[in-house]
Structure 1
Amino acid sequence: MKPVVAIIGRPNVGKSTLFNRIVRRREAIVDNLPGVTRDRLYGEAVWDERPFLVVDTGGFLSGDDDPFAPHIRRQVEQAVAESDAVVMVLDGRQGLSPFDRDLTLRLRSADQPVFYVVNKIDGPAQEELLHDFYALGLEPLYSLSAEHGYGVPDFLDDLVAALPAPQPAPEQIDPEAVRVAVVGRPNAGKSSLINRLLGQERMVVSEVAGTTRDAVDTLLQRQGRAYRFIDTAGIRRKAKVDLKLEKFSIIKALKSLEACDVALIVLDAEQGVTEQDIRVAGYAHDRGCGAVFVANKWDLVDARTLTPHQFTRELRESARFLPHAPVLTVSALTGQRVAKIFPLIDSVFAQYTTRIGTGVINRIVTEAVQRNEPSMHKGRRLKFYYTTQVSERPPTFVTFVNHPEAVHFSYHRFLLNQIRLQTGLDQTPLRLIFRQRTGKIDFANWKKNKQKPKSKKTRRKKR
């Protein structure tokens, strides 16, 4: 268990820039627009061979018209309570603010060490900008530039020196955690669903679409298995995306699909299946991850007009390219059927990581070809020589054919369906690749022509 460092401060003082500088990756979205970060964002960092976790938080304001302000304050307070050290970031260019005074007063009673950082000091010539902040009675003050790295090494030296040593975890968490990306349209209830699964208010939740902007990771251990949930920004139609910031958020959401094992595709059951829902499902299909359709807000659906069976049938008709994805109707607000999500994730993940023996997959393909022979190609019959599984996540098979370009897509689909039927892999995507066989060998005469190694007695006679 690594020590935790929480980065706090008012909006637009450079908290996310400092976070990225410490973790040495562009994990947090950075923009000049205040209020970009809303959720807690965790990242791993190492300095002077000391590992620790860094938490980026939303901008803290004691009183603000922003509808997210109360949620953000709660997130900041929780992050501080969970941390072993706090870093309060101040803006050296804008000077001292009444909000800085208010937050400083709150931190005076903190049990953990607090480091006060004056950001946007780009060099020794700007050190005089610190004078205003001495009025807070704080010492020492660290001057640095999170963007350019000035002063950061000295600050990190003192920070890691004050951190407690890493403690052994009470329970060993599987390093191969199941990576679950929660994706969908804006305001479909993705963050609410994760909060319900975690049993705590981990994500900022609001009725305003576009609340989540970063792709936020959250670890959870349940019944001996570790899960890494990734809450992503809502993916809306390109024509609706006008803010540069939102475009970055959607790109991060799509990258989360590439890195996940299972995608929970969250739909708003009250609004029904929309074109954008199918487009989001298509993103998951193109990236080859396992998928589970989760129809949220089922408590708002009139059972007299729509049943789960009718909703599933409509969804299957619209998303024919994902026939293997299970469908579950839930309510994140009431908790209805939410507990069934974990067994579905486990089932999909088990199939997603399955490996089939070469003998088994060869037998399945051979019997399928014998039952339904492929079409002719230029007067010659297509021949399927050999099939093997080359990878998993998802299970991927390669079949060597005399004319791979001549295999019709319908026959391709037929072979995939036969593999699903014979192996029971009905909840995971499968990939079947056709390749040209190279290096032909005459197996009938191979043994006859093969030279036998000479015996030791023969070699001694030659000497």
Structure 2
Amino acid sequence: MPLPIVAVVGRPNVGKSTLVNRLSGEQYAIVYDQPGVTRDRVYRECFWGAHEFQVVDTGGLVFDDETEFLPMIREQAEIAIRESAAVIFVVDGLAGITDADEQLGGWLRRQNIPVLLAVNKCEGSKYGLSLAAEFWNLGLGEPIPMSGIHGNGTGELLDELVKHLPPPEEVVAESDEIKVAIIGRPNVGKSSLLNAFIGENRSIVSPISGTTRDAIDMSVERDGKKYRLIDTAGVRRKKNIDYGIEFFSINRAFKAIGRSDVVLLVIDALDGVTDQDQKLAGRINDEGKACVIVVNKWDAIEKDSYTIYDYTAEVKSRLMFVEYAPIIFVSALTGQRVTQILDRIDIAAEQHKRRVPTAILNEALNEAVTWHAPPTSRGGKQGKVYYCTQISDSPPTIILFVNDPHRFNDNYKRYIENQFRKTLGFDGTPLRFIWRGKKDREVEKSKNSAFR
């Protein structure tokens, strides 16, 4: 069976995200002193002793349907509880029992699921016991005093939690997943795309910019392959970003690029490619990540027989940083071609990790040099390419041994890359070339001999 899930719930600003960060051992969930920072369900893997499980951070629960986002946040929390083996109900020990705690406690008692009552912000053992005592009145069993910031009491909390989890031998470790970050500007449809992938409202969708804040992970399986989809906050221009929640959200989005295998760069078909899209493409290329360009809202475009070809040419010309990326036109709203994105992801992920034998690489190199000889300087000195070999993957990195790297201009280097792609493929992944001359090799040899 897959890893069991534990939902962390509570009213706003009681320290749920701080506790999730403490349990997972990483600062993934955004922590900020303002209600409503967490909105979607955010999953993190944890372990305690022999037990492995996932904790899911949820938005602050308030039973007020007139406040913006709160009904949707509550819907996300309800989904998290339905799929969980147990619930950790976090309350604020310093604030004492509030009306919202009593409402939420009564609601949890009706859910027919084990509930552990974690009284947060209890920093000292004796002081914490006195603060926690009041919460017996919620009728949810023994309150456990703890501190998400300092870690006090979290061991006792986890000891009680694992009593409600299945035996470790019944939990099967997950197979390798392809990690896919969904990146783009605000309101291009990233969360709608994630929901279309999995067939449920996993992320809150709203026309209001900044709805998604944390990087939200979700696993999807198809034909025996597993994918971890990471929905991220929309990235605006740096000058428009104030320090605070949005700053941390965008930082999480950039980190999602770093921990992904493939990046889906989502473009709004109505807006076309913007300057911010170009900057994001540059970031993806700098990180050396495989990429698929997803043009969303294609259903809203008036088309003729030439539209898709003209639009493709426009996207390729404006996103030259990721010209290696395939382009797919979809509609997250109607589901048009959404499932085909996974096919593009498969190819890009495979090519990103691909290794090509040296003999085949040199056949491609010799063919390229035969068709177009290296340039000759004004002094009559010509560049010479001796051989090449691949030294790493993710992304594929190839070293070319030449007489002098300075004799090869940027145009010729682009030609070599294009010929390698034409001959060998590498669709969807950047290629890195290192041009090494005779002097470089001689210096390297002398360094090696000095240590013998």
> TM-score, normalization: structure 2?
0.92
Which position in structure 2 is the counterpart of 1:444? none
CA offsets per residue over residues 381-418 of structure 1, 9 Å max, x none?
A: 32222200111222211112232244211111111011
Report what 1:208 is aligned to. 208
What letter is aligned with 2:110?
S
Q: Using the TM superposition, name which of 353-362 and 13-22 deviates more.
A: 353-362
CA distance in 1, matches of 2:354, 2:401: 21
In structure 2, the residue corresponding to 1:246 is in which secondary structure?
helix
- SS of the residue corresponding to residue 122 of structure 1 reads coil
**Of 154, 157, 169, which aligns to 1:155?**
157
Q: In structure 1, how many angstroms separate the alpha carbons of the residues matched to 2:9 and 2:392?
A: 44
In structure 1, the residue corresponding to 2:335 is in which secondary structure?
coil
Q: Is the contact made by 1:3 and 1:165 (CA closer than 8 Å) also made in structure 2?
A: no
Please give the residue correspondences for 1:98-117 in structure 2 after superposition, counting only pairs within 5 Å. Answer: 98-117=99-118
Between stretches 300-309 and 2-11, larger displacement belongs to 300-309
2:127 corresponds, among 117, 120, 125, to 125
Counterpart for residue 445 of structure 1 = none
Q: Cα RMSD over matched residues?
A: 2.1
Query: In 2, distance between residues paired with 1:30 and 1:80?
Result: 22
- Counterpart contact for 1:2–1:167, Cα < 8 Å: no
Aligned to 2:446: none
- Name the SS for the 2:391 alignment partner: strand
Provide the rounded CA distance (Å) in 2 between the counterparts of 1:314 and 1:158.
Answer: 58
Secondary structure of the 2:423 match is helix
User: Partner of 1:146: helix, strand, or coil?
Assistant: coil
Where does residue 447 of structure 2 map in the other structure? none
Structure-2 residue corresponding to 1:224: 224
Matched with 2:364 is 364
Give yes or no for contact 1:3–1:166 (8 Å, CA) kept in 2.
no
Corresponding residue of 1:61: 62
Partner Cα separation in structure 1 for residue 309 and residue 383 of structure 2: 42
Other-structure match for 1:141: 143
Unaligned runs of 5+ residues in structure 2 are 444-452
Please state whether the residue corresponding to 1:149 is helix, strand or coil. coil
Match of 1:33 in 2: 34
Aligned to 2:176: 176
Partner of 2:47: 46
Q: Percent identity over the alignment?
A: 44
Offset at residue 80 of structure 1 (A) = 0.6
Larger radius of gyration: 1
Q: Deviations over 1:420-450 (max 9, x none)?
A: 111123432211111234259xxxxxxxxxx
Matched letter for residue 76 of structure 2: Q
Separation in 1 of the partners of 2:338 and 2:311? 17
Larger mean Cα displacement after TM superposition, 75-84 or 385-394 = 385-394
2:420 corresponds in structure 1 to 419
Structure 2 equivalent of residue 192 of structure 1: 192
Q: Distance in 2 between matches of 1:54 and 1:405?
A: 54
Q: 1:41-440, aligned counterparts within 5 Å? A: 41-63=42-64, 65-123=66-124, 124-166=126-168, 168=170, 175-303=175-303, 307-376=307-376, 380-437=381-438, 438=441
Letter in 2 for 1:199: G
- Give matches, 1:16-31, under 5 Å: 16-31=17-32
- C-alpha distance 388-125 of structure 1, shift in aligned 2 (>3 A): same
Find the residue that maps to 1:22 and give its secondary structure.
helix
* Matched residue SS, 1:338: coil
- Letter aligned with residue 112 of structure 2: D
The amino acid across from 1:342 in the alignment is: L
Whichever residue aligns with residue 391 of structure 2, its letter is: V
TM-score (norm 1): 0.90
Q: Using the alignment, how far apart are the partners of 1:55 and 1:296 within structure 2?
A: 29
Aligned mates of 2:312, 2:383 — CA distance in 1: 38
Deviations 1:348-402 (A, max 9, x none): 2222222211011112212322332223466543222220011122221111223
AA aligned to 1:358 is: T
The change in CA–CA distance for 1:177 and 1:425 in structure 2 (over 3 A counts) is same
Q: 1:167 to 1:48 in 2, by over 3 A?
A: closer
Query: Which amino acid in structure 2 is aligned with residue 386 of structure 1?
Result: Y
* Counterpart AA for 1:388: T
